[in-house]
Structures are given as C-alpha cells and as structure tokens.
Amino acid sequence: MINLAFLAKYQEPVRQRLAEVLQGGDPIRHILRYHVGIESRRGKPEVRTGKMLRPSLTLFMAEQLGAEDRCSLHAAVALELIHNFSLIHDDIEDNDKLRRGHPAVWDLIGVPKAINAGDLMITLALLEGVTAGTEVVQCLLEAMRDMVDGQALDLEYESQWTSPEEYRAMILLKTGALFRCAFELPGIIAGADEETERRLGAFGEELGMLFQIRDDVLGIWGTTADLGRKPGSDLVKKKKSYPLVAAHQRANETEQRQLERAMGTATNTETDVAGVVKLLNRLGIRADADAQMGEHRARAEEHLRFLPIAASAKDVLLELFVQLEPSVAENGPGTVL
C-alpha cells in the first residue's frame, strides 16, 4: 500500500471545495457528488473520495513554493474535477460497470445521461480554474488536450498490437499529462521562473509514467489487496497494458500467437490467464517493468535536485517514488481467479 500520510492534511479542503462546487438539488449534481465520493446513492453525506493524489500533490507543492492558498485550492479542485470527468467517460468507453467498488455512473443512469454528467463536470472544472487565473486555465486545458489525445490512442491500440515505445508515448499523454499539470499549477501560481516550471512539469510526467506502469504491473501480478479486485484482472479484460506489449515485442512467433490468441478470445479462462502469466515470467517482463520504473524514478530525481523547495520536501517526494514501485509475487496470480 502507498503511504500518503503526508498528503492527508490537504484532502479535507479539497473535499469541502468539491461539495461547494457540486452543490445543488438537481439529479445531475447528485450523481456528480456520488461519483467523486462525497455522497451516497441515496443522497447521504459520504467520504470515499480515495487518495485524491493529484490535487493533494498540487497543494503540497504550492505550500513548498509559497503559492497563494486560495488560488492553489481552486486550481487543485479544478484538476480533480477534470480527472473525475475523464473517469466517467472512460467507464463508458471501457464498458466498466464498477468504479472504486461502486456502480459506475453510466451503469446507474444510462450512457446519454452519464455523458451529459461528464460534460457538466468538465464545465465546472474550467469555471473553478478561471477563479485561479488565465494561466491556470491554459495549463488545465493543455493537460486535458493531451489526456484526450492519449485516450484516443489507447482506444486505437485496443484493436492492434503496438510497440513498448508507442505505448509509453501514449501513457505519457493519457496519464502523464494530469500529473504534469499537478506540479505545473503551483509553479504558475507561485510565479516560478521558466526553468523551475519546466522541471516541475517534467517531474510530474515521470511520476505519472511510473504510476501507470505500476498500475499495469499490479493488474497482472498484484493481489486482491493491491487492486481491490481479483488478481489478473487486466488479462481477464484483455487489456494490452505495458507488460503485454513488451512481451509481444520480445516473444518469438509461436509465443506471439499464444498472446494474440489469449487476448483475442471472447473470454479468458483461468488456464488462458495462467498461461499468459507463465509466458510473461519466462520472458522476464516483470524485470523489464521494474527497470522502466527505475528509469522514471532516476529522471525524476534529477529534476527534483533543481527545484527550489526544502530538502525535507524532496525526501518526501522521493519516498513516494519508492513506495510506488510495487513488490508483488513474481509468479503472478496463476489460477487464483
């Protein structure tokens, strides 16, 4: 589990501001409050917002850089709303019926209303960003543009095999963009110089890349405790995550056909999943993913050296990288499904 105790102090202000932004008695705002985790399906107050990693990191860095508190909170909440907007639409596109263990918005109210709910959330996000300034809105829009471009590539790659390099370029957009934005926003508000702003964004991108590869690793080798769902879930869903595309490139023709057959069938059985995991282990894909995460951590550490924040804050952020590098069983889920 990731220890985010240092970010806990920022989560309640974000929750409170989310409640203010999403207030209203109409059904669409109720479903948005339900989606972000501050209200139950029956309209009762609830706290299941998760770690809120991106806005919490924004507020942490804003504090370290001496950025103005109120503007930082508006920017952080806008970023969290953009993230949640993307989740509403992602669940529709991926046909996922659960989000954080609860029914997805589209499964509760139908696809047309869910699309409309996502549209309202992004509108409210930008209105929230406006209160923090024009540069903040531009940063949010650029991150959203990259995120949507990345999602478009991800959808394209569902029907074809791609290279690890293309996959990493895709997740740099899809996942890296919002993490980049989380670190750029406090720099903008604090009036950081151009070089510091560049380093902040680059650090955020490296964190986002490691975060996604970690998620990909856990999706195959993680436990139920890691995932909140059954082990091997990404293989059951036939998700072409980093381990799969790396394996396909490294495999011989026979092994490639095995992967293609397993990922192309209507449903994956326990035997299919166990066979794919065995192949991934034989090809050394887990070690390859570990190496990738190590490279992102090293590059992030280099950017961190130049940031004008306290040494103690740098240590905290580096520890976050260490904790994001998962320690999971090498033999994978086998037939535990």
Q: Would you list the DSSP string of 226-272?
A: HHSS-TTHHHHTT---HHHHHHHHHS-HHHHHHHHHHHHSSS--HHH
Q: What is the DSSP secondary structure assignment for residue 7, as one 8-state letter? A: G
Same domain, 151 and 238: no
Q: What is the DSSP secondary structure assignment for residue 98, as one 8-state letter? A: E
Same domain, 16 and 146: yes
Write the pLDDT tens digit of every residue in 233-282. 778 778 899 999 999 999 999 999 999 988 887 666 777 888 999 999 99
50 within 8 A of 37, measured Cβ to Cβ: yes
Same domain, 156 and 228: no
DSSP alpha helix (H) spans, the chain: 8-21, 27-36, 53-65, 69-94, 105-109, 111-130, 134-157, 164-174, 176-190, 194-221, 224-227, 233-236, 242-250, 253-264, 270-282, 285-305, 311-324
Note whether residue 148 is domain-resident: yes
Note whether residue 247 is domain-resident: yes
pLDDT, residue 2, reads: 56
Least confidently predicted of 9-23, 180-194, 214-228: 214-228
Percent of residues, the chain, with pLDDT higher than 90: 79
Q: Which residues pair with 206 in a beta bridge?
A: none
Quick count: other Cβ atoms within 10 Å of Cβ 83? 22
Closest CA to 332 of 232, 216, 251: 232
Strand-strand pairing, 102-103 and 98-99? antiparallel
Write the pLDDT tens digit of every residue in 51-108. 899 999 999 999 999 999 999 999 999 999 999 999 999 999 999 999 988 999 999 9
Same domain, 145 and 266: no
Read off the CATH number of the domain in which 334 is found. Answer: 1.10.600.10
- Domain closes at, from 106, 135, 170: 170
Same domain, 241 and 199: yes
Same domain, 199 and 244: yes
Same domain, 102 and 234: no
54 within 8 A of 144, measured Cβ to Cβ: no
pLDDT, residue 326, reads: 62
Question: From CA 183, how far away is CA 72, in angstroms rounded?
Answer: 11
Domain of 271 in residue numbering reads as 193-337
161 within 8 A of 260, measured Cβ to Cβ: yes
Same domain, 165 and 213: no
Q: Would you list the DSSP string of 66-89?
A: T--HHHHHHHHHHHHHHHHHHHHH
Note whether residue 2 is domain-resident: no
Q: How many domains does the chain have?
A: 2
Question: From CA 169, how far away is CA 161, in angstroms rounded?
Answer: 14
Whether pTM exceeds 0.85 = yes
How confident is residue 321, by pLDDT bands cut at 50, 70 and 90? Answer: confident
144 within 8 A of 82, measured Cβ to Cβ: yes
Write the pLDDT tens digit of every residue in 157-187. 988 999 999 999 999 999 999 999 999 999 9
Question: From CA 32, how far away is CA 198, in angstroms rounded?
Answer: 34
Same domain, 212 and 245: yes
The CA angle 69-74-75, to the nearest 5 degrees, is 95
Three-class DSSP category at 135: helix
Same domain, 331 and 243: yes
Same domain, 18 and 112: yes
Residue with tokens 């001496």: 66
Same domain, 61 and 154: yes
pLDDT of 303 higher than 70: yes
The CA angle 122-296-160, to the nearest 5 degrees, is 65
Residue with tokens 């409050």: 33
pLDDT of 327 higher than 60: no
The CA angle 87-88-94, to the nearest 5 degrees, is 75
pLDDT, residue 269, reads: 72
First-to-last alpha carbon distance for the chain, in angstroms, is 21
